[in-house]
Chain A
Amino acid sequence: MSENTDAGKIDLNELKSGGFIKQNQKDLFTVRLRVPGGRLDIDKMIKIGEVAKKYSRMGYCHLSFRQSVEIIGVHIDDFNTLVKELAEFGQSIASCGPRVRVPTACGGCEYNPNGIMDAQKKALEVDKEHFGTPCHHKFKISFSGCPIDCARTQGMDLGFQGIVDPHWEEDPCTGCTLCEKACLEGAIVAAEDGKPIFYREKCVYCGDCIKACPTDAWTAKRKGWAVRAGGKHGRHPRTADEIMLFLPDDKVSDFIGKTLAWYNKNGKRGERIGTTFDRVGLEGYKEKVARPFITD
């Protein structure tokens, strides 16, 4: 088949920036859906299933490593109708190429007892504001609600991980030592009278002491995000650099915007931001982007 009339209707820009990925099979593509944080409303999930059943010529979906649903084996002639049918219930397509990808996130603090920050809410917000922004290479963002870091922020171009700063008051403390038991880091050691000695340098800001304390002698002084940048997977993995602690929740989007502006100015085409750090140094980025966000 040399002529393909339907394919002519495809918006080529959409094809380039959108999540249509060429497969081994002739004229078949993987269609990657936009699912920020991997959260899918159940009704939507059922409808995606119906559309996938109709258009997948291979009979299955794949759950991508960035929490999206990929419909496998969609024929190029079906793109237009598929996109239209998905749009009818508000489902859009993800992106590929050199731009900001759909953010990933753990369950966050809404229903997970370990959660400190609302990773899901933030992923949705950031997806709205920054998804698809063009840059020098792919740009991956993730959100972990706590230091267990299920969203693997250390492997992201920009990663945000929830943290809480514990504060201890002597008065309510009964010296029960439960905080010492709760702390996996050895940052809390009970003194003779059972009261805690806090070694801040060992603290990872998980808040387990606060959660364990029966008398609320430990409380949350502040919550926020630990920010990491320059991480990536792939052929040449790079662990992200620690950029700052306790970025306020309402500053995340601004921080991302400023990071992207810095990257677009200082980076090179085809270079991930971590490689830019290695080439021009991290200090300039920290000084220019992170520093204005550091409050103490």
Chain B
Amino acid sequence: MSENTADEKIDLRGVLCPINFVKTKLKLEMMESGQVLEVTLDDGEPMRSVPRSIKEEGHKVIKVEQIDDGYKIFVKKADS
């Protein structure tokens, strides 16, 4: 699947809210529309907040993958 091959990756395990979202946002700002960012997050508060904030910014979470100690979410950058 193409969404498994992210254009960029960011590991935010151990990073607290809302810094994890801010870092995601900054990373996305440096990318092109339509590119995919793989974000690794801790379970709990980060998984509750970050995907929602990404949606509020207009980007799209296209896939969620559970890993041993958290989750990987794949975010497609919105058209600007």
Contacts and interface: CB of A to CB of B under 8 A. Distances in A.
Interface of A: 113, 174, 176-178, 181-182, 184, 208, 211-214
A181 B61 contact: no
B48 A182 contact: yes
Nearest to B66: A177
A181 B63 contact: no
B34 to A, nearest CB: 16
B62 A214 contact: yes
B64 A208 contact: no
A214 B48 CA distance: 12
B64 to A, nearest CB: 4
B56 A181 contact: no
Contacts, number: 33
Contacts of B63: 174, 176
B61 A176 contact: yes
A212 B55 contact: yes
Task: Return the 4 tightest CB-CB contacts between A and B, nearest first.
Answer: A214-B61, A176-B64, A181-B47, A212-B52
Interface centre among B47, B52, B55, B56 (most CB of A within 10 A): B52
B13 interface: no
Interface in B19-54: 43, 47-48, 51-52
Given A212-B51, A214-B51, A178 B56 contact: no
Nearest to A213: B55
14 contacts: A113-B56, A174-B63, A176-B63, A176-B64, A178-B51, A178-B64, A182-B52, A184-B48, A212-B48, A212-B52, A213-B55, A214-B51, A214-B60, A214-B62
Interface of B: 43, 47-48, 51-52, 55-56, 60-64
A176 B55 CA distance: 14
A174 B62 CA distance: 9
B62 A181 contact: no
Contacts of B64: 176-178
A113 B63 CA distance: 24
A211 B61 contact: no
Contacts of B55: 211-214
Contacts of A113: 56
Given A174-B63, A178-B47, A214-B51, 10 more contacts: A113-B56, A177-B64, A178-B64, A181-B43, A181-B48, A182-B51, A211-B52, A212-B51, A212-B52, A214-B60
A238 B43 CA distance: 38
A211 B55 CA distance: 8
A289 B48 CA distance: 39
A184 to B, nearest CB: 8
Contacts of A177: 64
Contacts of A211: 52, 55-56
Contacts of A213: 55
Nearest to B51: A178
A10 to B, nearest CB: 52
B61 A208 contact: no
Nearest to B61: A214
Contacts of B62: 214
Nearest to A113: B56
A212 B47 CA distance: 10
A124 to B, nearest CB: 26
Contacts of B56: 113, 211
Nearest to A184: B48
A174 B61 CA distance: 11
